[in-house]
Structure 1
Amino acid sequence: RDHTLYPAAMFLQGLRLYRKWCRFSSPITQLLILTVVTFGVLAPLICHRLLHSYFYLRRWHLDPMSQEFMKQNQEEGQAALRYFEDLQTPNSSKLSAGMPIRPWLLVTIVTVQRRKEFHYVLQVASRFHRLLQQCGPHCQNYQIFLCNVEQDPGSYQDATLLGTHFAMVSRYKNWEDPDTSVNQFEKEKRDYAFCLEQSLLAYNPEYLLVVEDDAVPEEELFPVLHHLLLARLSKPHLKDALYLKLYHPERLQHYINPEPMRILEWLGLGMFLGPLLSIVYSWASGRPRLTWPIVLFFALYSMGLAELVGRHYLLELRRLAPELYNVVPVTECCMPAMLFSAPSARRVLGYLQGLQCRRGFAKDTALYSLLRTKGERAYVVEPNLVKHVGMFSSLRSNDNPKLL
């Protein structure tokens, strides 16, 4: 009994000593010490390995973490290869002869060959296939469709393997020399538009989820999408959006960013935690009442701590339930996973035909520019519903990639 009560007794003794010390020290001294200990000692010690924190020690951890990530990703690629080699029965989502079934949600995987040892597309396809198997009746009207935009499709062994399990379309039938008049960014846009168009023609789905071949879905993807499509996106201010983005880079998710909505969220966090922490402080220090300076201090304290530790890690708490996911006005960068309704996908096709992509104006920037020029609206889901695992870009050569 003495051993079980010892921690509680130590805590109470420490609280008594703290309250005694508070009687002989001013609040300014106490809060100054709290600030120094939090931001100068505790937070750096706890967060120095958090990749998306300001406390992250890049010089110490970036190279080994990048190497470890690539090693693990390569192992996951091999596991995905074994998954499909052991999968004997072709998936029911394969197109029947001339009579495709109209799905409620079509998952189109856009793929091109790159580093073979990572098997990116197999990782994505295997995760989607497994999640569909686990989803049960809710996902029985979901389909997977593969869009191969490799210029030499016959040499793309991973796509050939997937073609035995899923319906697939190839943009190029045989090896075709690249058109020198078309830059790589314009080609990527045309490939994307081709896959979008073929998905609509082949299936005419209610909704279309277009993912790139290095965007691995999170475990909760389908329950969250089910909730968003049936509940959230039916609301007037979200209905008829041009697209819903399912990924934004974690390094761009801090509060101090161009998106004004995040500033409001940041202020709201301070308004909530400021009074809460002040109450705890008043109780711990034995002070009878709250004062505005102390509430303001703890509001700024909590806001600063949240920003420096990383907003990304606070967003992870929303994964507890589909209803907690946030839908906010869209941000510009990156489109590994995009959700379209059938009407919005047709509008996007028409818009993209009138745009010429180039360096500095890739397809994600081009699509974002349409919101202003065409008077459209688009949104992004927080936290991310896919993980971007591709360390090697199909647009830019990089022999020594890093996580950041």
Structure 2
Amino acid sequence: MVAGMRPRGQQSWGRLFRWSNPFAHFLVLTVITFGVLAPLTCQKLLHSYFYMRHRYLNAMSQDFLKQNQEDGLGALHYFERLQASNSSERLAKKALQPWLLITIITVQRRPEFHYVLQVASRFHRLLQKCGSSCQNHKILLCNVETDPSSHMDVKLLANFFAVVNRYGGRESLDHSLNRFEKEKRDYSFCLEQSLQSYSPEYVLLVEDDAVPEEEIFSVIHHLLKMRFSKPHLQNALYVKLYHPERLQCYINPEPMRILEWVGIGMLGGPLLGFLYAWASGRSSLSWPIVLFFALYCMLLVELVGRHYLLELRRLAPPLYNIVPVTECCTPAMLFSAPSAHRVLAYLKELHCRPGFAKDIALYSLLLSKGEWAFVVEPNLVRHVGMFSSLRLSENPKLL
């Protein structure tokens, strides 16, 4: 070997890591992005892979509970002020047939949080803000507390909205029922009462810990009047307005999002590739460069959190996404009158139990009955109830 010459292997590695080589650029970009920048900027993002759970979860959970309790007191004062002002407005007392009936299902739990007051006050404010376009919207309270007189928040709300009670009259609690079957029957009762009491065109069935987002009515109006007029979307059994953020990522058991994920790579790959070619003074763009940036974009959006990408769709109602429905959960469900009648008939055939709650029961109908349903993205309600009526916990966490 001639003196001063390096072995062929060392020469190839030297060329590989030479700063003008794209491999070196990509390696540095990957290390800086996923090893430094993303962990630092995303460590407090609850739905990111970079979220530092051990450091922030307990404190964030306690802050959330504190804020939730303050929001509950604020909602209580809101209705107390309305009552003190002797407001003549009684939205749900009007006898007009509503186009949309908002039925809030409520049960007494952790009264210091005033969950149902938070939901009702938010809907009340949004209806006032919505104005004439929401004049055919009504609110109905469905009280499924076994002792309805003990639900003090419903007593207050009865001054403003119509209320139906599940128990306390001729209907008595069957103590042989497991709590999952009871929840399903309560749910069916509220849906049936909504149809019988008002004969609405649509029913929005909301649980009492699902606070609506600011744009909920504008999005629902757009969906029902524009998007769901299309043949392939008509006659859906139901439309979900909420899916847990922790289940919205791309790598999950719900493969319908894979095409969206690949689409992000197909869009971001060429775009970043062209920027890289321009910045590095290259005259052409090769497919390995495009492939790297496509994978880079896909990995970045997954690790940072798809939930945060979905938030960009809130800019306008037409940007909201409609995708095939997923299994969990039922905080806010939209039914047309015909689909609500079908759901009631179907649920009578099913018996819920641990591992087969009402959300899974509803999802099972899609295959067994040849139905279809959809979920709206991003969520149109915020799930604020950390204390479940089914799964009791004295120390709940956000995750």
Please, what TM-score do these two structures have when normalized by structure 1? 0.92
Is the 1:186–1:357 contact (alpha carbons within 8 Å) kept by the matching residues of 2?
Answer: yes
* Match for residue 339 of structure 1 among 334, 337, 361: 334
SS state of the match for residue 316, structure 1?
helix
1:128-277 alignment, distance < 5 Å? 128-173=123-168, 178-277=173-272
Matched to 1:187, the amino acid is: K
Is the 2:18–2:24 contact (alpha carbons within 8 Å) kept by the matching residues of 1?
Answer: no
Partner residue of 1:15? none
* Match for residue 395 of structure 2 among 378, 382, 400: 400
Partner residue of 1:102? 97
1:376 lines up with 2:371 in the alignment = yes
SS state of the match for residue 143, structure 1?
strand
Deviations 1:276-324 (A, max 9, x none): 0001111111212111000000000000001000000000000000000
* Match for residue 307 of structure 2 among 312, 317, 325: 312
CA shift, 1:180, in A, is 2.8
Is the 2:102–2:206 contact (alpha carbons within 8 Å) kept by the matching residues of 1?
Answer: yes
The 1-side partners of 2:92 and 2:174 are apart by 32
Is the 1:153–1:175 contact (alpha carbons within 8 Å) kept by the matching residues of 2?
Answer: no
Is the 1:152–1:175 contact (alpha carbons within 8 Å) kept by the matching residues of 2?
Answer: no
Over the aligned positions, Cα root-mean-square deviation in angstroms equals 1.4
1:295 lines up with 2:293 in the alignment = no
SS state of the match for residue 234, structure 2?
coil
1:76-115 alignment, distance < 5 Å? 76-87=71-82, 88-89=86-87, 91-95=89-93, 100-115=95-110
Closer, same or farther in 2 for the Cα pair 1:24/1:391, shift >3 Å?
closer
Is the 1:328–1:380 contact (alpha carbons within 8 Å) kept by the matching residues of 2?
Answer: yes
Partner residue of 1:389? 384
Matched to 1:67, the amino acid is: Q
SS state of the match for residue 94, structure 1?
helix
SS state of the match for residue 233, structure 1?
helix
Matched to 2:36, the amino acid is: V
Partner residue of 1:4? none
Matched to 1:93, the amino acid is: L
Matched to 2:90, the amino acid is: S
Return structure 1 stretches of 4+ with deviation > 4 angstroms: 174-178
The 2-side partners of 1:215 and 1:165 are apart by 19
1:356 lines up with 2:351 in the alignment = yes
CA shift, 1:219, in A, is 0.2
Is the 1:90–1:166 contact (alpha carbons within 8 Å) kept by the matching residues of 2?
Answer: no
SS state of the match for residue 182, structure 2?
helix
Is the 2:100–2:201 contact (alpha carbons within 8 Å) kept by the matching residues of 1?
Answer: yes
Is the 1:240–1:344 contact (alpha carbons within 8 Å) kept by the matching residues of 2?
Answer: yes
The 2-side partners of 1:191 and 1:90 are apart by 31
Please, what TM-score do these two structures have when normalized by structure 2? 0.93
CA shift, 1:25, in A, is 2.5
Deviations 1:3-53 (A, max 9, x none): xxxxxxxxxxxxxxxxxxx99531101110100110000000000000000
1:119 lines up with 2:119 in the alignment = no
Is the 1:47–1:309 contact (alpha carbons within 8 Å) kept by the matching residues of 2?
Answer: yes
Is the 1:91–1:166 contact (alpha carbons within 8 Å) kept by the matching residues of 2?
Answer: no
Deviations 1:114-141 (A, max 9, x none): 0000000000000000000000111011
Deviations 1:92-135 (A, max 9, x none): 32335xxx321000000000000000000000000000000000
The 2-side partners of 1:236 and 1:403 are apart by 39
The 2-side partners of 1:245 and 1:180 are apart by 31
Deviations 1:333-390 (A, max 9, x none): 0110000000000000000111100000000000000000000000000000000000
Is the 1:152–1:176 contact (alpha carbons within 8 Å) kept by the matching residues of 2?
Answer: no
Is the 1:216–1:389 contact (alpha carbons within 8 Å) kept by the matching residues of 2?
Answer: yes
Count of matched residue positions in the alignment of Structure 1 and Structure 2: 380
Q: Using the aligned pairs only, state the percent identity.
A: 70
Give ranges in structure 2 of 5+ residues lacking alignment: 1-16
Partner residue of 1:51? 46
SS state of the match for residue 91, structure 2?
coil
CA shift, 1:396, in A, is 1.2
The 2-side partners of 1:178 and 1:56 are apart by 44
Partner residue of 2:12? none
Is the 1:153–1:174 contact (alpha carbons within 8 Å) kept by the matching residues of 2?
Answer: no
Closer, same or farther in 2 for the Cα pair 1:139/1:287, shift >3 Å?
same
Deviations 1:214-240 (A, max 9, x none): 000000000000000000011000000
Is the 2:19–2:25 contact (alpha carbons within 8 Å) kept by the matching residues of 1?
Answer: no
SS state of the match for residue 92, structure 2?
coil
Matched to 2:48, the amino acid is: S
SS state of the match for residue 352, structure 2?
coil
Matched to 1:116, the amino acid is: P
SS state of the match for residue 142, structure 2?
strand
